[in-house]
Amino acid sequence: MLHLIADSGRSPRELSESVLKSPKKGPSESNARSILAFLVRESSHIALEDLGNYLNRHPSGLSRLATNFEKKIASVHRGKSVKVLVTE
Protein backbone atom coordinates (compact mmCIF):
# COMPACT_ATOMS: atom_id res chain seq x y z
CA MET A 1 0.00 0.00 0.00
CA LEU A 2 1.08 3.54 -0.67
CA HIS A 3 0.43 5.93 2.17
CA LEU A 4 -0.21 9.29 0.63
CA ILE A 5 -0.52 12.47 2.62
CA ALA A 6 -2.39 14.79 0.33
CA ASP A 7 -1.99 18.52 0.46
CA SER A 8 -4.77 20.94 1.35
CA GLY A 9 -5.19 19.53 4.84
CA ARG A 10 -6.80 16.24 3.89
CA SER A 11 -6.20 13.17 6.01
CA PRO A 12 -3.75 10.48 4.82
CA ARG A 13 -5.05 8.09 2.17
CA GLU A 14 -4.12 4.53 1.40
CA LEU A 15 -4.04 3.40 -2.21
CA SER A 16 -3.50 -0.21 -3.07
CA GLU A 17 -1.22 -1.40 -5.82
CA SER A 18 -4.23 -2.52 -7.88
CA VAL A 19 -5.74 0.98 -7.68
CA LEU A 20 -2.47 2.59 -8.82
CA LYS A 21 -2.29 0.15 -11.74
CA SER A 22 -5.94 0.60 -12.68
CA PRO A 23 -7.08 2.88 -15.50
CA LYS A 24 -8.72 5.23 -12.97
CA LYS A 25 -7.78 8.87 -13.42
CA GLY A 26 -9.33 10.32 -10.29
CA PRO A 27 -7.56 12.96 -8.20
CA SER A 28 -6.27 10.51 -5.59
CA GLU A 29 -4.86 8.09 -8.15
CA SER A 30 -3.40 10.83 -10.31
CA ASN A 31 -1.84 12.60 -7.33
CA ALA A 32 -0.22 9.38 -6.12
CA ARG A 33 1.14 8.59 -9.59
CA SER A 34 2.49 12.14 -9.84
CA ILE A 35 4.42 11.77 -6.60
CA LEU A 36 5.75 8.36 -7.61
CA ALA A 37 6.78 9.63 -11.05
CA PHE A 38 8.54 12.63 -9.52
CA LEU A 39 10.43 10.49 -7.02
CA VAL A 40 11.44 7.99 -9.69
CA ARG A 41 12.60 10.76 -12.01
CA GLU A 42 14.79 12.16 -9.21
CA SER A 43 16.18 8.72 -8.40
CA SER A 44 19.13 7.09 -10.11
CA HIS A 45 17.93 3.60 -9.16
CA ILE A 46 14.88 3.25 -11.40
CA ALA A 47 13.73 4.75 -14.69
CA LEU A 48 10.32 6.14 -15.61
CA GLU A 49 10.10 3.36 -18.20
CA ASP A 50 10.29 0.81 -15.38
CA LEU A 51 7.59 2.60 -13.41
CA GLY A 52 5.50 2.85 -16.56
CA ASN A 53 5.77 -0.89 -17.13
CA TYR A 54 4.86 -1.55 -13.51
CA LEU A 55 1.84 0.78 -13.50
CA ASN A 56 0.74 0.03 -17.08
CA ARG A 57 1.32 3.68 -18.03
CA HIS A 58 3.28 5.32 -20.84
CA PRO A 59 6.53 6.92 -19.60
CA SER A 60 5.72 10.22 -21.34
CA GLY A 61 2.50 10.50 -19.37
CA LEU A 62 4.36 9.81 -16.14
CA SER A 63 6.97 12.40 -17.08
CA ARG A 64 4.19 14.94 -17.61
CA LEU A 65 2.72 14.08 -14.20
CA ALA A 66 6.15 14.49 -12.57
CA THR A 67 6.67 17.88 -14.25
CA ASN A 68 3.24 19.10 -13.16
CA PHE A 69 3.93 17.93 -9.60
CA GLU A 70 7.28 19.72 -9.60
CA LYS A 71 5.59 22.94 -10.80
CA LYS A 72 2.99 22.58 -8.07
CA ILE A 73 5.72 22.25 -5.44
CA ALA A 74 7.58 25.26 -6.88
CA SER A 75 4.44 27.40 -6.84
CA VAL A 76 3.81 26.51 -3.21
CA HIS A 77 7.40 27.46 -2.40
CA ARG A 78 7.17 30.67 -4.43
CA GLY A 79 9.36 29.65 -7.32
CA LYS A 80 12.28 28.40 -5.23
CA SER A 81 14.04 25.34 -6.56
CA VAL A 82 12.99 22.20 -4.71
CA LYS A 83 15.26 19.18 -4.53
CA VAL A 84 14.28 15.81 -3.17
CA LEU A 85 16.77 13.41 -1.67
CA VAL A 86 15.79 9.81 -2.29
CA THR A 87 17.56 7.26 -0.15
CA GLU A 88 17.14 3.58 0.50
Express each pLDDT in 5-60 by its tens digit.
444 344 445 667 888 888 888 888 888 899 889 989 988 889 999 999 999 999 99
The whole-number pLDDT of residue 76 equals 74
- Classify burial at 20, counting beta carbons within 10 Å of its beta carbon; exposed 0-12, middle 13-18, buried 19 or more: buried
What is the pTM assigned to this prediction? 0.72
pLDDT of residue 66 exceeding 70, the answer is yes
If you average pLDDT over residues 60-77, what whole number do you get? 87
